[in-house]
Structure 1
Amino acid sequence: MSNRTKRRLALNLMSTERFGDGTFAAILDNAKLADALGVDVLVLPDHVAIHETARSDREGFPHSLDAQWFEPLTSLAAIAAVTVHARLSMNVLVAPLRPAVLLAKQIATLDAISYGRVEVALGAGWQREEFEATERVFDGRFGVLEEQIEVCRALWAGGPASHHGPRVDFDELHSYPLPPQGIDLPILLGLKLTERGIRRIGDLAQGWAAPPMPMQEFSDSVAKLNAANTERERLKVTAAVTLPLDSSSPRAQGISHPLDEALALWEAGADTVIVHPLMFCNSLRDLATFLEPLLEARDS
């Protein structure tokens, strides 16, 4: 391992309330166990709402309409209070659904609560209906995302802060608490690797939160990203193992443990691999059994 970046294992906690009494308390139990076992990062995905037609049109979307989408920034604050070591992230946060200054405050607060354990993964979203229902503008959301990052870093540097952009304009603004990590709080972007997407990742973030894709495409994408950023510090890459299309019930038959896929993702250039235990576990005890070979592989 001396010649490569240290591998990290992340656990997606979505729907793991099913391993207990069905409440958020069960997610906290799962988070505590994963933290104690040495999982590096705990993540939750984000949607404020799911539109029926948009979901049915979204190829590969694995979650049922009644899945519990706990708001991640709120949830991770609770998780921070019951964990010690694991870092906290999202996969991914639909950032433009939130006003920029409020987003900066929410992330800074979470970083303060967790004593500097936050790394955010931000995306631009794909459901027009979700934007319209939350009174946000869908068209131009990538530009919104860019400006949000600029606003966050301006405010995280401490007041008086100034920003003059196409949508947000302020001078002499103070927003506390500051995140313990300050402007170095890691930001990853969950964008497609178009020419503009690569430029945004290189200019605005410390890394790429890759969407699910075939292994060869992922390997080629990492090489493409690295080739485009040869003059910058190496960008971190987070990748999630594939979720089956039907993730509505645990213990589906014929689904392989994700160990081999996790190993392949690490070898292909992922620094962090996110696994989801839903298809393999019914209980907290199952979760420990699920994680053990992945943690051993991470450390090998």
Structure 2
Amino acid sequence: MALRLGLGLPQTGTYDLSTDVTAAARAAEELGYDSVWVLERVMRPEQPLDDMYLIPGQPWAQYFSSVADPLVTLSLAAAVTERVTLGSAVLIGPLHQPFLLARALGSLDAASGGRVVAGFGTGWSRDEFAAANVDYKSRGAALDELLDVCAAVWGENPAAYEGKRTRFTPSDIGPKPVAGRIPVLLAGSNDKALRRLVRRADGWVPSGGGGAEQVAAGRARIAELAAEEGRDPAELSTTLRAFLDITDKSLDNRRPFQGSVEQIVEDLADTAKAGADEVLLDTQLLCRDVQELIERARALRETATEAGV
């Protein structure tokens, strides 16, 4: 099966959200991309409690200052497309009220004709959890509850659930997802996160700069955990989010997904061999405007096709 390619939608303050999201979504579909994707960041504190991604000494990225709401962004994309999958990589699950998020995703899936893929993560920023009035230390349990609530809300009526954050008595709840449920991807790379993925999800959505090596290592561990849990690892997809740094000329010393378009396509081929089913190409952080984003998307798609990726 050929590697699927996704495109990150322009959500940051660099872009005009009234026009650029729809322009990029239309272009992605016209260029033959398989999917469009959003991320979630809610703030950029001036005196953060944690370094970015919990990496010691790592300052918070400037783009955190303005990131459009992910479901609003996906709704804009859904309205102007007919084919592409609409994915989140990722929603910070514990920041959301579970029932309302599950219902919103169900509505979006129904409105888009069944095109939603829900990627969730536990989050890492104590500032974001404080802003949402959510207990940071219980974020794993909160994600588990969200998964339970999604299953209940998307399932057959009457639906009911009783948990720590969410309680509802037997009720009719709709709209329902077109296929009866929405595929769920989970982020994370430690054993606890990967075991949750094997038990409860449809796939893995890693993010980072590791490229093919990261995918290969993660897939190997997922296979081991799947064997322990009695699940076929082939049932679990892998969608890698790759933040691109495209240069005019080829680079000798580079990280994965940095360099010329041709070098990045080589990285795509290597990532596919390592076990990735889909790669989300995100260029928004280093593009001047949506026109540049679309032109880079075009070059990447055309070069990948010529290379047989």
Q: Which interval holds the TM-score relative to the shorter structure? A: 0.7 to 0.9
- Residue of 171, 174, 184 corresponding to 1:173: 171
75, 90, 93: which one aligns with 1:92? 90
Shift of 1:65: 4.3
Q: What is the TM-score of this pair, normalised by structure 1? A: 0.85
Deviation at 1:216? 2.4
Q: Which amino acid aligns with 2:276?
A: A
TM-score w.r.t. the length of structure 2 is 0.83
* SS of structure 2 residue aligned to 1:88: strand
Does the CA-based 8 Å contact 2:10-2:20 persist in structure 1? no
In the alignment, the residues of structure 2 paired with residue 177 and residue 24 of structure 1 have an alpha-carbon distance, to the nearest angstrom, of 27
Name the amino acid aligned to 2:134: R
Deviation (angstroms), 1:285: 3.7
Task: Give aligned-pair identity as a percent.
Answer: 27
The alignment status of 1:142 with 2:140, answered yes or no, reads: yes
Q: CA deviation at 1:50?
A: 2.5
Q: Structure 1 residues 212, 50: closer, same or farther in 2, change over 3 A? A: same
1:241 and 2:238 matched: no
Q: Map residues 211-226 of structure 1 onto 2, 5 A cutoff.
A: 211-214=207-210, 215-226=212-223
| 2:266 is the counterpart of 1:260 | yes
2:34 corresponds to which of 34, 37, 40:
40
- Determine the structure 1 residue equivalent to 2:255: none
Question: Does the Cα contact within 8 Å between 1:240 and 1:273 map onto a contact in 2?
Answer: yes
Assess, with a 3 A threshold, how the Cα gap between structure 1 residues 295 and 181 changes in structure 2: closer, same or farther. Answer: farther
**Which amino acid in 2 is paired with 1:10?**
G
- Who is 2:275 aligned against? 269
Amino acid at match of 1:182: G
Give the equivalent residue in structure 2 for 1:293: 303
Provide the rounded CA distance (Å) in 2 between the counterparts of 1:252 and 1:146.
44
C-alpha distance in 1, partners of 2:113/2:170?
27
- Aligned with 2:170: secondary structure? strand
Structure 1 residues 178 and 78, CA, compared in 2 at 3 Å: closer, same or farther? same
- What is the CA-CA distance between 1:286 and the residue it aligns to? 4.3
The residue type paired with residue 279 of structure 2 is V
Counterparts of 1:260 and 1:16 in 2: how far apart (Å)?
A: 28
Equivalent in the alignment of 2:254: none
Count of residue pairs the alignment pairs up: 286
User: Using a 3 Å threshold, how does the CA distance of structure 1 residues 203 and 9 change in structure 2: closer, same or farther?
Assistant: same
Contact 1:193–1:225 (8 Å) recurs in 2 = no
Cα deviation for residue 61 of structure 1 reads 7.3
User: For 1:27, what is the secondary structure of its paired residue?
Assistant: helix
> What is the DSSP-based 3-state SS (H/G/I as helix, E as strand, rest coil) of the residue aligned with 1:232?
coil
In structure 2, the residue matched to 1:228 is 225
SS in structure 1 opposite 2:137?
A: coil
Q: 1:9-44: per-residue Cα shift (whole Å, max 9, x none)? A: 0111135885xx734311211110111111111001
Unaligned runs of 5+ in 2: 252-257
2:203 aligned residue:
207
State the shift of 1:53 in Å: 4.0
Ranked by relative contact order (alpha carbons within 8 Å, sequence separation 6 or more), the top structure is 1
Query: What residue ranges of structure 1 are gaps of 5+ in the alignment?
Result: 245-249
Q: Is the 1:55–1:61 contact (alpha carbons within 8 Å) kept by the matching residues of 2?
A: no
Q: Residue type of the partner of 2:278?
A: T
| Separation (CA, whole Å) in 1 of partners of 2:176 and 2:297 | 35
Q: How does 1:14-163 map to 2 (within 5 A)?
A: 14-15=10-11, 22-54=16-48, 57-58=51-52, 59=55, 63-65=61-63, 68-163=66-161
